[in-house]
Amino acid sequence: MKLKLGLIGNAISKSRAPSLHRFLGNIHGIEISYDLFDPGTSDANALVQKIEQLTRERYDGCNITFPFKQLALDFADLPDKASALVGSTNTLKLGTQIKATNTDYTGFVRAFIQRFDVDSRGTTLILGAGGVGRAIAFGLGHVCRERIHIFDPSTARSEELCSALQSAGFDARSIVQSEIPEVSQQVTGILNCSPVGHYQTPGTPIDLSLIGNQKWAFDAVYTPIKTSFIESCWQSNIAVLSGFDLFFYQGLDAFEYWTGIKANEHEVKRAFLSESKINPAEILN
């Protein structure tokens, strides 16, 4: 069995996705190629051209990342329940018909359940309402039924996401920047779903003086794994779900979606960390 895969998005040169999928292919006897396609622009036409190129060159599937996750759903002939619920996709199965799922959503739920117990759940604050923020918000609604507060520099975007969550039966509220100090001190969990902290957009998504009262935190950024936000949470003895966790489980779900093969997540994770020379201490506090 052979699979020809790719990733479409901006600032992806340091993505570990190629190594993860080639690794998964190796241990399951599948020859996998995985290429990176960075349009260098957020223009929708660039996404159109890349998907047409991959379809023409007979790629079996591709992942979609920032800033194209919502746009990519428009290309799906057969979106599944996860991508339709979230309103975006990060995983396409290419062919005569294009199928779509959202493994950011399923991967986050899988990672969250694996890492946290029920007592950790409660009200939350999400920073960022873009493609990954949407997936995480819906995943969070699945595992935490209490109020989700959402901030995004674009108030229209955070309000639209809140409206979508409310329509799905979740308790969500859009907040503005001036409310962050108060809300951050009241919530159980705080989640960075913005690109802030990425090696190309360094910084912190929130004033680090506001970190400390929460029980747990999540950072969608995984390059680098140890962001300033994650480090501050660890220093405050806050339980952390890292961007690597999301990267790993969304990748595992995508592999299973493309191949129909159920992988042993614990064995694969240990082996991949060893293969990648990643110290487990970097992803576990």
What is the predicted pLDDT for the residue at 282? 66
Structure tokens at 37: 């396609």
**Alpha-carbon gap, residue 72 to 163, rounded angstroms:** 21
What tokens were used for 67?
């800033």
Report the DSSP pairing between strands 91-93 and 61-64. antiparallel
Q: Summarize pLDDT for 94-153 with one digit per residue, the tens.
A: 999 999 999 999 999 999 998 887 556 799 999 999 989 999 999 999 898 899 999 999
Q: Return the pLDDT at 275.
A: 84
Mean pLDDT for the stretch of residues 65-73: 93
Confidence of residue 199 (pLDDT cuts 50, 70, 90): confident
pLDDT at residue 284 above 70? no
Max CA distance (Å), the chain:
54
User: What are 209-235's pLDDT values in tens digits?
Assistant: 999 999 999 999 988 888 999 999 999
Instruction: Concatenate the DSSP letters of all residues of the chain into one string.
Output: -EEEEEEE-SS-TT-SHHHHHHHHHHHTT-EEEEEEE--SS--HHHHHHHHHHHHHTT-SEEEE-TT-HHHHGGG-SEE-HHHHHHT--SEEE-SSS-EEE-HHHHHHHHHHHHH--GGG---EEEE--SHHHHHHHHHHHHH--S-EEEE-SSHHHHHHHHHHHHHTT--EEE--GGGHHHHHTT-SEEEE-SSTTBTTB-S-SS-GGG-SS-SEEEE---SSSS-HHHHHHHHTT-EEE-HHHHHHHHHHHHHHHHH-PPP-HHHHHHHHHHHTT--GGGT--
- Predicted local distance difference test score (pLDDT) of residue 119: 58
Q: What is the pLDDT of residue 264?
A: 85
Domains and CATH numbers, the chain: 2-101+245-282 (3.40.50.10860), 106-243 (3.40.50.720)
* Whether pLDDT at 158 is above 60: yes
> Please, what sign has the CA dihedral across residues 170, 176, 177, 181?
negative
- Average pLDDT in the 50-64 region? 97
Residue 169 has pLDDT above 80, yes or no: yes
Half-sphere exposure of 140 (CA within 13 A, CB side): 32
> In the prediction, which pLDDT does 283 show?
66
Binned at pLDDT 50, 70 and 90, residue 203 comes out as very high
User: What is the per-residue pLDDT across 245-276, written as a single tens digit (0 to 9) for each?
Assistant: 999 999 999 999 999 999 888 889 888 988 88
d(CA 91, CA 72): 9
Whole-model pTM: value is 0.92
3-state secondary structure 43-106: CHHHHHHHHHHHHHCCCCEEEECCCCHHHHHHHCCEECHHHHHHCCCCEEECCCCCEEECHHHH
Q: pLDDT band at 87, cuts 50/70/90?
A: very high
| Confidence class for position 279, pLDDT limits 50, 70, 90 | confident
Nearest partner of 276 among 15, 3, 38, judged by Cα: 15
Whose tokens are 């918000």? That residue is 137
Q: What is the pLDDT of residue 35?
A: 98
Burial tier of 190 (Cβ tally within 10 Å: 0-12, 13-18, 19+):
buried
Do residues 245 and 111 touch, judged by C-beta distance below 8 A? yes
Over residues 4-26, mean pLDDT: 95
pLDDT band at residue 47 under the 50/70/90 scheme: very high
- What is the predicted pLDDT for the residue at 256? 97
